[in-house]
Each structure stands twice: as structure tokens, then as C-alpha cells.
Amino acid sequence: MGLSSPTEAEASATEAQPQTGASQTGLRRSMEARHLVMIAMGGVIGSGLFVSSGYTIATAGPLGAVIAYLIGAVVVYLVMACLGELAVAFPVSGAFHIYAARTIGPATGFATAWLYWLCWAVALGSEFTAAGLLMQRWFPGVDVWIWCFVFATVLFTLNAISSRVFGESEFWFALIKVAAVVGLIILGGAALAGFHPLAAGGYPSFGENFSTPDGLFPNGFTGVFVTCLAVFYAFSGSELIGVAAGETANPGANIPKAMRTTVIRLMIFFVGAIVVIAATIPYEKVSVDESPFVTVFSMLGIPYAADIMNFVIITALLSAGNCGLFSCARMLFSLADEGHAPKAFRKLTKRGIPMVALCVSMLGGLASLISSVVAPATVYLVLVSVAGFATVGVWMSIVASHFIYRRTFIKNGGDLSTLPYRAPLFPLVPILAFALCVVSLIGIAFDPNQVAALLFGVPFVGACYAIFYFKYGRRRSLKKAIDA
């Protein structure tokens, strides 16, 4: 598939109709709305909620943590609204960089794709490693690398069979995590209301822990601002709906439906869980070494709470790895389809799986795994922060692409009523989303734990632009875009 000029892209959008057959790329349109929702939920609900929420509460305080997650939910809604319109207009697999290439420019599309691929490839290793470490709770005599190999084999197999098998497996992976979050909200909420028959000793009432000895914001409102950066990363993964758009049956109907459902559920699950955790555990006692979910279930007196949540967190990590491997393979396939990666990545199996791209993505994940095991802790933290930088960068690319797309569409005389889905409140939504993302990146410079992301991420993006112009040349790329 060649790059299209903005004018041609807008024209094609006016003719976008729901499709049920195979896409032009050869990937199968076999996933439905429920698969898209669970893919997005699976990509989002992970260590950012189960583990890092403890850091958020300890830093921002109970009320500050709730506010931070509300801000994160708003940003996700804004980005998803923009993504929904683009995904329906351009329902192709691995579509983030294609949005940017067709609206902003080929070089931006190239940089966006490699940035997002790097994000998930690096994250794969950390997900496998963390899951292997958690398995030592039950099997202390088994080396971590063995579990990593087992998990990598299982996820590779699920992705290699078919996109529908991936969608079904992710549906059930995500369902376990969703059940854990719903259980926390219901049982924890009931306990805060006074119903806690198994709890030993006293149990706090709702609102008791929100008024801390140091006020509503024990570390000042700056703590809220700093944690917003971590919260943005916790919400990363919602954009995976755009990656799977090319393998979605009837994208005009299923993608908007999945977008709305995902945003609503994320707001309920994330904010609801944080409210319960913040109201249950005193902020000064929240530990980043133990999942707040484990602490809450233990306080409720539920037997084997630690083992139950250990299993759930392992499932969460594998689910995120499952989504990450899917995303990596589709990004490489899409890059090759645009002529910006080796042609071998375009090869599909009879089931429509980009096998070469899948294998290379898995190798990238295993390489990251090795580095995360043998490298110093500081290097590991750099890799994690770079993943957060990449997420925010991709979000900025999405909303900027939508802004330019809609403006060009209107300028060329397009009729908005012909769009199967359009984001509301244009241009406020993309402008506000872009501004909040920029603020979060500026804030990274003031956070010693995350500043490494700028030191590595900015040069990486610059290198992507340099490689693109050096290898393809600006004139050649633009000519290709016009002729495609």
C-alpha cells in the first residue's frame, strides 16, 4: 500500500464503507467489537494499575491520586475520539504511522512507527521477566529464564495461529483482570460502607483516609502533576484498537462502538479502583513493593488473597505481552507494506499472519529481556521510561493527524455527514489532547526518575527523521506519496 497525499486521503475517507471481506493487505477481518474492547482493556489494565497505583497514591496522596487518574481518563477519551475517526477512515493494520504519513508527512509516519515498535519490543522483555519473577513465589527452585521462555513460547503460539485466536485469547486474558478489578470495587466498596465480616480488627470508613495529617494534598499539588505522567503511561494500550483496525469486521460500526465502550469501562475501572484503594489504605502505608490489590484483599480477610492476586498480576503481565507482540508484528508488517522496512516482513501465512515480522518482534522482546536481567537497574528504568515517552509521542501523532485530516477534509469541500464516525467538538478535542501531552513531556524534565526518557527519546526520534531523509530522500518520498 503506497502513501497517499492528504488530498487523496480525505477523498478516500468520504468513500469509506464498512467492509466484511479481506483487507487489501491480506490480513483477515476476523475480529469483532468485543475483541477490540478486550484488546484495548488487556493492553491498558496491567502493572500500571495493579502495581504502580501504589506509587501514585504515596506521591499524590489519596485525593491527588484520584484527580490524577481522572485527568488520565480525560486524556484517553480525547485521544480515543481522534483515533476513532482516523481508524474508520483508514482501517488498516498497524495504522498509527499511516495516519501520520498520510496527513503530516512520510517522515513523521516513519518515526512514529519505529517509536511505537521500540516501545512494545522493549516492554516485552520486562513483562516476561516480571512474570517469571512472580512465578518464583510458587516454584522457587525454577530459574526465571525458564518461565520467561515458557511464557514467550505460549504467546508466540497464540499470535502465530490466527488473529482470531489472538483476539479470543486476549478476550479471556483481559476478562480475568477485569474480574479482579470489579471484585476489588464491589468488595472494597462494600467494606468501606461497613460490610466486612471477614476483616480482622477495625476497617476504615469511606472518606476517613482522604483527610491526611498533612492535608488533602500531603506533597502539594506538584505531587499530582508528577504522578499524571505515570498515570498517562498506565493508560497506554488503549490505542491498540487502531492497530487492530485492519483485522476488524465492519470497522465503520465496530470501531466506534469499541472506542466508546473502552473509554467508559476504563473510567469506571481505573477511577473506581483508585477510589477504593485510596480510601482503604493510609497513603503513608502504601508500598510500591506490594500490589495495593493484595493489600486490600488481605485487609478484607479473604483467604489466599496474596496467591490469588499474584496469579492475576501474572495474567495481567502476559496479557500486556500478548498485546505488545501483536502490535510489534503489525507495525513491522505495515512498515514493510509502505516500503520502509525489509519486504520479508510483508510475507503472510495462509492464515494471514505476518510470520517473519512476528518472529523478529519476538527476538526484539527476548533481547530486551536479556538486557533487563543482566543490565544495572538504572538501565532497566531507562527502558521503562522510554516506553512511556513513546506512548505519549504516539498519542501526539494521533491527535495531530486527526487535526490535519479534518481540516483538509473540510478545506477540500468534504461533507461531514458522509463520515461514518467523527470526533466531537472539533478542533477543541485534538488541540486540548496535544497540549496535555506536551505538558506531560515537559514535566518529565523535572522528574529525576523519568528525565532519561527525554535524553534517549528525543535523539531517537531525531535519528528516525535523519535515517528517513538519508535513505529515501525528501523529494523521492513526496513523489511516491503523490503517485501512490
**Residue 74, all three cell numbers:** 480525560
Q: What is the pTM of this model?
A: 0.76
Calpha distance 463→240 (Å, rounded): 25
What pLDDT sits at residue 396? 93
Q: Give, in order, the Cα–Cα distances in Å from 126 to each of 313, 367, 447.
A: 14, 10, 22
What pLDDT sits at residue 391? 83
pLDDT averages per 10-residue partition of the chain, 484 residues: 34 35 43 56 69 79 88 88 83 70 88 82 76 81 83 84 66 78 88 79 76 76 75 75 58 69 81 90 73 82 81 81 79 78 84 85 73 55 72 90 93 86 89 90 75 85 90 56 42
What pLDDT sits at residue 17? 35
Calpha distance 140→134 (Å, rounded): 10
Determine the longest span between alpha carbons in the chain, in angstroms: 73
What pLDDT sits at residue 466? 92
List the chain domain ranges: 6-483
Calpha distance 80→395 (Å, rounded): 9
Which residue has 458522509 as its cell numbers? 418
Let me know: does 181 contact 41? Beta carbons within 8 Å: no
Write phi, then psi, for 241 (nearest 5 degrees). Answer: -60, -40
Calpha distance 399→405 (Å, rounded): 10
The CATH code that applies to domain 6-483 is 1.20.1740.10
